[in-house]
Amino acid sequence: MTVTIHPSRRRFLAGAGGLAFAVLSGGGISVLRPSAQAATSTEPGVPVDAWVTIFPDDRVIIRYGAAEMGQGVSTSLPLIVAEELDADWDRVTVEQVSQDPQRLFGNPAFGGNLFSAGSTSLEGYFTALRIAGATARRVLIHTAAAAWGLPVDEVSTEPGVVVHEASGRRLRFGEIVALEEIRTDVLQVFEDDLKPREAWRLIGSGVGRRDIPGKTRGEAIYSIDVRVDGMVYAAQLLAPVEGEAPTVDNDADALSVPGVIAVVPLANSIGVVADTFEAALAGRDRLRVSWSTGSDFRSADSADELAQLAQAADDFSTEPVTWEARGDAAGALSAEGRRTVTAHYTTEHVYHAQMEPLNAVASVDHDGKGADVWVGSQSQTISLAVASHVLDTTPDRIRFHAMQMGGAFGRRTVFARDLLRDALLLSKTVGRPVKLIWTREDDVKNGWLRPATVHRLDAVLDETGRLEALRHRVASPSIMQFAFPNRWDPESRRDLLVMEGTESADYAIPNLLAEQVLVDRRSRVSAWRGIGWAPNCFARECFLDELADAAGSDPVSFRRDLLRDSPRGLEVLNKVVKMSGFGNPPEGRAHGLAFAGYKATLGAGVAEVSVTEGRLRVHRFWAAVDPGIVVHPLSYVGQVEGGIIFGLSSLLGERSTFTDGMIEQNNFYDYEILRIDAVPEIEVALVESGSPPSGGGEIGVPMTGGAVANAVRRLTGTQPRRMPFDLGDA
């Protein structure tokens, strides 16, 4: 599926005479009635963009600032606005925001930037979107009441209509916005103006997702589908090792390939531009290039790195970075005569493996100071900043077109730093629009990997078998320092992308110490689905099962005691135990349990496994999750299921290794993701506590490692201590 686009500096808003409601993330509110000119051909700077636009024909446009990457925000976020507006959902069209010069649409969880990561969209936007919808509804009600000459407290709404029940009067939303006098003096929204939960019609309902029909029919448009007038294609010969620069020895053979237009040296690659992508690949194959030597990464070896991490975790002469400290865990562990337990766990590098290959389309202006850009990115803000920097221009000269993504999982957060950069440089060089595509092999070889980690856990059990002290020590390079250097604090050196989850906030552990031992990175590193919680919960939950045995307890009772101060945690634990019939698996199988959190989301999982002739099979997986308010249950359950499959894939086989600085895997034939015949039967229960909403994209991952490992241990008597699992020792 492709779409041909005719780029223009003008943006178009269909129809005239609509009313737009803008709600700034910082709390400011404005009502905008576009002029006839603005409604048909909006020059930059004309303020018509807003969360909600209502037209006289009853059409409603609801915009959302998050990035759609398959998680369903194109439904769940507009649904919040539509609920408070009391819109007719069948009349609603949704639009993703591409750029935000007035900072109307940024995620409050990320300082008002357009950034989607870490399951923060619902958590960050929920209140702002309710205010947007409630503001629009308030203006409509007050305007209708004034037109009727009636007290406003006698007027209410039904979907798409303002009504006065006593007289039977009705005005459609479209009829109201066409009135001469719009009440713009009633914009302040109070808590009483927000709908009570019992009045919700859309939030929590089973309405269909807006993105699914187009995907099902093959009509969904991704950046890889975009065609622009005069567009050419580009492939890259990328540096085999990070930090190496190319020298073209011979490009004559490449230029002789029919359709090849140019060979362009770049910072860490050679770009081959051609009329077709196939010609670009053929030209790339014929390049003769020498690479600079001396990169520090040329000696990088993943096996050596794992050994260094293990040594660092046990080296107490190295000063760690404290992430969380409660009580005096170090004192309890060093006291004589205490009952202590120690264990180590390892997680290896993994690759994001998103289905849509990385790509970007760039069309640089003739003066080299502006561009149209089409790309699927988790951050419109970062992508705009990269484009502005590359062209040494101002953001208003970049016409950014945000596209939905065929998977992201953290890979499409900062990839603009190399791929979008190079697409712009190639377009500027050849003077034509360029679509740059990385092949699967390009991405596997140049992936930004989840870092390898080694965990040392030490615990003290008191005389009753209760957990008195826990130290969770993580040896790992910093993700923040490399992937987000602008957010890295070299003084505190605290890395949330590595350490989140080690605080074990829901467990009543009186003495707890979580600390990171920083090591130099040996590969490109980045956040991966589940972020730090996935490896950290794996290590902790495996350790807790071992502690339960040492205490003469069982996995459920031991965790119930630890969750004694967390009613929400106890609820999900008890729910999954009941769902799964924990402890009573079919013959030849075993159950394993893990409790997990992800920020404000709490969950617990149970895996049912078998091991036959060294082959591990996960037959069933149960999950109970408390995400607070559930805006769109279908999307939420789908996200949890996807997270579980993601987690299972990483522990059953995914692994990136490298020698001499080069990743050894090539494609899905040797980087093996979970196949459909290995996907277990999954059952997800949503346990809604009424807490504020939190994300669902990550929570399925952290519970899988511990649940499966603990099931294997109960079945074989040996605890898997390394992800992906090696059952040679189990």
- Annotated domain spans of the chain: 3-215, 223-294+358-437, 302-350+449-729
Write b or e for each residue in 683-710: b if 16 or more Cβ atoms lie within 10 A of its Cβ, otherwise e: bbbbbeeeeebbbbbbbbbbbbbbbbbb
Query: Could you give the CA distance from residue 21 to residue 23 in angstroms, rounded to a whole number?
Result: 7
Instruction: Please tell me the predicted confidence (pLDDT) of residue 195.
Output: 94
How many of the other CB atoms lie within 10 Å of CB of 670? Answer: 10
Q: What is the separation, in whole angstroms, between the first and last Cα of the chain? A: 47
Backbone angles phi, psi at 606, to 5 degrees: -130, 130
Write b or e for each residue in 649-660: b if 16 or more Cβ atoms lie within 10 A of its Cβ, otherwise e: bbbbbbbbbbee
3 state SS of 20: strand
Strand extents, DSSP E, 423-578? 434-437, 453-461, 467-476, 511-518
Give start and end residues of each alpha helix (H) in 653-689. none
Backbone angles phi, psi at 237, to 5 degrees: -95, 105
Backbone angles phi, psi at 616, to 5 degrees: -90, 135
Query: Could you give the CA distance from residue 639 to residue 626 in angstroms, rounded to a whole number?
Result: 13
Which residues does residue 370 pair with via DSSP β-bridges, in sequence order? none
Query: Could you give the CA distance from residue 340 to residue 401 in angstroms, rounded to a whole number?
Result: 57
Instruction: Please tell me the predicted confidence (pLDDT) of residue 23.
Output: 63
Closest-CA residue to 64 (of 516, 404, 373)? 404
Widest CA span in the chain: 85
Closest-CA residue to 393 (of 418, 417, 424, 416)? 424
Instruction: Please tell me the predicted confidence (pLDDT) of residue 25.
Output: 53
Could you say which DSSP state residue 222 is in? Answer: B
Write b or e for each residue in 631-641: b if 16 or more Cβ atoms lie within 10 A of its Cβ, otherwise e: bbbbbbbbbbb
3 state SS of 95: strand
Instruction: Please tell me the predicted confidence (pLDDT) of residue 42.
Output: 35
Supply angle C-alpha 419, 425, 429, rounded to 5.
145
Asked whether the whole model's pTM tops 0.75, one would answer yes
Instruction: Please tell me the predicted confidence (pLDDT) of residue 4.
Output: 53
Residues whose CB is less than 8 angstroms from the CB of residue 486 and which lie 6 or more positions away in sequence, other chains included: none
Average pLDDT along the chain, 730 residues, taken 10 residues at a time: 42 46 58 47 41 89 94 97 97 93 87 93 92 90 96 96 97 91 80 88 95 94 96 98 96 98 97 98 98 93 98 96 98 94 98 97 98 97 96 96 96 93 98 98 97 98 97 98 95 97 97 98 97 98 98 98 98 98 97 96 98 94 97 96 97 96 97 96 95 93 98 95 77
Q: 302-350+449-729: same fold as 223-294+358-437? A: yes
Q: Does domain 302-350+449-729 have CATH number 3.30.365.10?
A: yes
For domain 3-215, give the fold: Aldehyde Oxidoreductase; domain 4 (3.30.365)
Q: Does domain 223-294+358-437 have CATH number 3.30.365.10?
A: yes
Instruction: Please tell me the predicted confidence (pLDDT) of residue 18.
Output: 66
Pairing of strands 662-663, 658-659: antiparallel
Query: Could you give the CA distance from residue 339 to residue 187 in angstroms, rounded to a whole number?
Result: 63
Instruction: Please tell me the predicted confidence (pLDDT) of residue 37.
Output: 35
Instruction: Please tell me the predicted confidence (pLDDT) of residue 730.
Output: 44
